[in-house]
Each structure stands twice: as C-alpha cells, then as structure tokens.
Amino acid sequence: MIENNHEVPGYQLLAAHRPAVVVDASTSEDIRDAVRLAVAKGEPVAVQATGHGLTRPLDGAGVLITTGGMAAVEVNAAAGTAWVEAGARWRDVIDAAAPYGLAPLSGSLPGVGAVSYTLGGGVGVLARRYGFAADHVRRIDLVTADGELREVTAESDPDLFWALRGGGGNFGVVTGMEIELVPVARLHGGTLTFDVRPELLETWYRWTAGLPEEMTSAVAVLAFPGHHVAKVQIAHLGSGKDGDELLEPLRALGPLADEVREIPFARSEVVFGEPDQPHAYRGDNLLLADVEPAKLPALADRTAAMCVVGLRHLGGALSRPAGIPNAVGHRDAGYLLGVLSPTSPEEVPAVRARHDALLEPWSAQAVGRSLNFLFDDVDPGKVESAFAPADYRKLAALKAELDPDALFRANFPIPPG
Ligand SMILES: Cc1cc2nc3c(=O)[nH]c(=O)nc-3n(C[C@H](O)[C@H](O)[C@H](O)COP(=O)(O)OP(=O)(O)OC[C@H]3O[C@@H](n4cnc5c(N)ncnc54)[C@H](O)[C@@H]3O)c2cc1C
C-alpha cells in the first residue's frame, strides 16, 4: 500500500487518477483489504487495470486499486474455459488459450483489460458468430461494498450475476472471472484499405445485408491531415476460399492495399490495427437499428480532421438473448456508429462539437449507446441510454441495495435508485 497524492497514468492520457492511497493488488485479499480501508476512511474506491476506459479519475481522495499485478490466466482446456484474474489483458488470455486451439471473445486491441471489457458487454472480433463476451461468463468473484469477497454465479446470486454482465464496475471490485473460450485457432482476416469515397460505405453496408454470422466486419474512415483512407476490417471464420468468395464485391472496388489473409487468432489485432501506445482521445457512439444509406457520404467527408469514424456490423449472435440473461442492452441494434478523435485537453470542446455534429443526423435510427465505446466525461443520460428502461431501473435498485453510498467509482456510474 502506498500513501499517495501523485498521478497514476494509464492508456488514456487525458486524465489520471490522483488518489490518497494506491493499493497495487497481488491477491484477492489485497482487494478486499483495500475496499475495507476505503469504507473505514469514508472515501471512494476506483480500479485501474490498464486505463483504457478511464473516465472518472480520483482527485486527491479515495483508494485506487491497481490490478496489473494480478494478470494470471488458467485455461481448463477440457472444459473450454479460463479463469482470468482482475488485471489480465486480452493478450494474456489469447496467449494462454492459443496452444489449445481456443480463443476468448476479445476485442480489437489485445492490450485492453479483459474484466472491464466483459463487464461492459464486450463486442469482439468474433461478435456476430458468438455474441457478447458478457454472454460467456460462468462465474465472477468480487468484493462488494460490505467488504465481503463473493463468488457469484447464476445459481448463487442470480440478480447480481445478471447485473455484473453488462452493468459495468458498479457493484464491486472483480478479483477474477471464469469465462468460456471458443474453438477458434485461425481466422481469415485483416484489412482492405481504400481511397475514401462515398460509394464505398454504401457498398460495404449493402454487402453486410447478406452475410453469414461467421463474418464480422467493420468499416472505418480515418481522417488525418493530408491522409484520408477507409479501412474495411474483416474477421471471417472459415476457409480462405470461402472468405475470398464473400469478399469479391469489396475487392471489385479496387483496394489500395489488401491485407486480408489466413492468420492465427493470436494475431487478431491486425484486423483493426489500433495503436497500443498510450494517447489522449475522446469518443462517442450510437447503436443504430439500421443504416440510412443517404447519410453515409457525410461520414466519408474528406475535409474532416483528426477523427476516426467507424461502423461495426452487429446482429447475428449479438441479437439473440444470452443463455443466462444479463444486463446487456439493445440486442436489436444492427450497427454501431463510433467516432473517436485523438485530442489535446484544449481541443476537447471542439472535438465534442465535431462528434455531436457527426452523430446527430443519425439520432432517428439510434436505439441507444454502447458503454464500452463511450470515451468521455460521464454523461448520465448516455449511460442510461445503454440499457432497456426496465433493466436500468433494476440496476439502480440493485445499486441501492448493494452500494447505497456509491463507494465504487465505476467509469459508467449507475446511481442508487
Ligand atoms: C483502443 C481501444 C479499443 C477498444 N476495443 C474494444 C472492443 O473491440 N470491444 C469492446 O467491447 N470494447 C472495446 N474497448 C473499450 C474497453 O472495453 C473499455 O474501455 C474497458 O473499460 C477498458 O477496460 P480496461 O480495464 O482496459 O480499462 P481501465 O481504465 O483500467 O478500467 C476501466 C473501468 O473499468 C472498471 N474496472 C476495471 N477493472 C475492474 C475490476 N476488476 N472490477 C470492477 N470494475 C473494474 C472500473 O470502473 C474502471 O474505471 C476499447 C477501448 C480502447 C481504448
């Protein structure tokens, strides 16, 4: 334990925790003791695994639990599951599962923490085939506001198990979770890079309409000064031959670069090619029932500066209820429209205005927002919009029961209600 008052940096450089106390946890007991200490001090608890999702830094008071020292992953190949400690990144899970021909439902960047990603739902590279990461959790161990370490399963505590999977870090500090792995060793995937042009987005959108669930794809327009490209991001479960047939209509548009090929799943980060170095960014999103093609050209505007506009194709297994119900909202969404800009602190207001201007025309098709793709100061309305209204009320009631004083400073707070 370190008595602190300096900044603890993470991946998101726009903010940093400045806690009164830092506990670099090595064990579940360390986490339990840290929560009890915060209760005794009457101060909040925050958790940091990697800082990718940092939105509510502690500012001078509170106990920060860092979990980077708890990154163990234990694979049970016979059961097709893994026990994942609080601070494990997807990279740790991918590498532990790969020797058995297994894979987790990880996302675009393996440097992201597995626990928080999963608590927020988790839309990964295999999403259309297997659904949300939160749909594949068997057990979650966590320390609740009463300072107790609980093993939570569908049988032991159905309401809390429902809430944790989709409701984020509002109900306690997770020490580890048991997740299901999927039998995936290889992927036909990568990117097709195009010169930006409006018809490209429409062709991609129309192409997605007839796809099997084995194909998960997205398109991103990257607008950097003097350098505007569109990347179609492909993750196909199947043979290269089948994948190549599916990709014909896109390749017919003449990509500048074609990097789609058969790869081990352990290289899945090439599909999205996101930066793994810490930087400062802001981002927002809308979950869309469907895409209106007439609005697509505005997303491919060559004049836009320093902004990544992405559309992810959802549906497939994402649209079906989880085997054991959970709090993940808006399974009816067909697409995720995300905007993300690198920014300096001074530019944040202008970046927000640009993001609002890009998203506003799509509000009529929006069914809500995805928590995991909100990268900004907390807006309570946006957090609420991630859930079905009845689910949000149920989450708030559970928060009132389990953490009435809002001890846990989750990145997406659900106030006790
Ligand atoms: C580059 C990039 C790519 C991404 N790609 C995807 C993607 O493909 N799919 C997707 O669904 N999401 C994606 N995300 C979103 C990501 O899942 C969230 O930002 C997630 O919160 C990051 O978790 P972390 O542990 O890495 O971050 P941290 O900032 O360390 O944690 C974020 C918050 O999670 C909570 N938390 C962390 N650990 C615990 C714990 N042990 N117990 C309880 N609460 C905890 C805390 O509230 C904490 O403030 C991406 C984010 C980035 C920046």
For 54-100, write each residue's pLDDT tens digit.
Answer: 999 999 999 999 999 999 999 999 999 999 999 999 999 999 999 99
| Alpha carbon of 239 to ligand 1 centroid (Å) | 32
Cα–Cα distance, 141 to 157 (Å, whole number): 11
Q: Answer whether 48 contacts ligand 1 (Cβ < 6 A).
A: yes
Across the range 142-156, mean pLDDT stands at 98
| Alpha carbon of 293 to ligand 1 centroid (Å) | 31
Cβ atoms 409, 389 nearer than 8 A: no
Q: How far is CA 151 from CA 158, 169, 174, in A?
A: 12, 16, 10
> Which residue CA neighbors atom 41 of ligand 1 most closely?
174
Hey, what domains does the chain have and what are their CATH numbers? 2-66 (3.30.43.10), 81-183 (3.30.465.10), 186-384 (3.40.462.20)
Across the range 229-236, mean pLDDT stands at 96
| Stated length of the chain | 417
Q: Answer whether 66 contacts ligand 1 (Cβ < 6 A).
A: no
> Which residue CA neighbors atom 29 of ligand 1 most closely?
51
pLDDT the model gives residue 5: 66
pLDDT band at residue 317, thresholds of 50, 70 and 90?
very high
**Which of 28, 372, 378, 399 for mutating ligand 1's site (highest number of atoms within 8 Å of CB)?**
372
Q: Answer whether 410 contacts ligand 1 (Cβ < 6 A).
A: yes
Q: Answer whether 322 contacts ligand 1 (Cβ < 6 A).
A: no
Residue 25, pLDDT above cutoff 70: yes
pLDDT band at residue 304, thresholds of 50, 70 and 90?
low
CA-121 nearest atom, ligand 1: 11
| Alpha carbon of 116 to ligand 1 centroid (Å) | 4
Half-sphere exposure (Cβ direction) of 384: Cα atoms closer than 13 Å: 10
CA-49 nearest atom, ligand 1: 30
| Alpha carbon of 348 to ligand 1 centroid (Å) | 21
Cα–Cα distance, 388 to 378 (Å, whole number): 19
Q: 3-state DSSP helix/strand/coil percent for the chain, to nearest 5? A: 30, 30, 40
CA-123 nearest atom, ligand 1: 11
| Alpha carbon of 197 to ligand 1 centroid (Å) | 33
Tokens of 46: 């925050």
Q: How far is CA 312 from CA 39, 126, 201, in A?
A: 41, 12, 12
Q: Answer whether 62 contacts ligand 1 (Cβ < 6 A).
A: no
Report the candidate in 376, 381, 382 with the shortest Cα–Cα distance to residue 282: 376
Q: Answer whether 115 contacts ligand 1 (Cβ < 6 A).
A: yes
- Strands 63-66 and 45-48, by their bridges, are parallel
> Which residue CA neighbors atom 28 of ligand 1 most closely?
51
**Which of 93, 116, 171 for mutating ligand 1's site (highest number of atoms within 8 Å of CB)?**
116
Round the average pLDDT of the chain to a whole number and report it.
Answer: 95
pLDDT band at residue 403, thresholds of 50, 70 and 90?
very high
CA-370 nearest atom, ligand 1: 11
Secondary structure of 349-392 as H, E, C letters = HHHHHHHHHHHHHHHHHEEECCHHHCECCCCHHHHHCCCCHHHH
Q: Answer whether 57 contacts ligand 1 (Cβ < 6 A).
A: no
Residue 303, pLDDT above cutoff 70: no
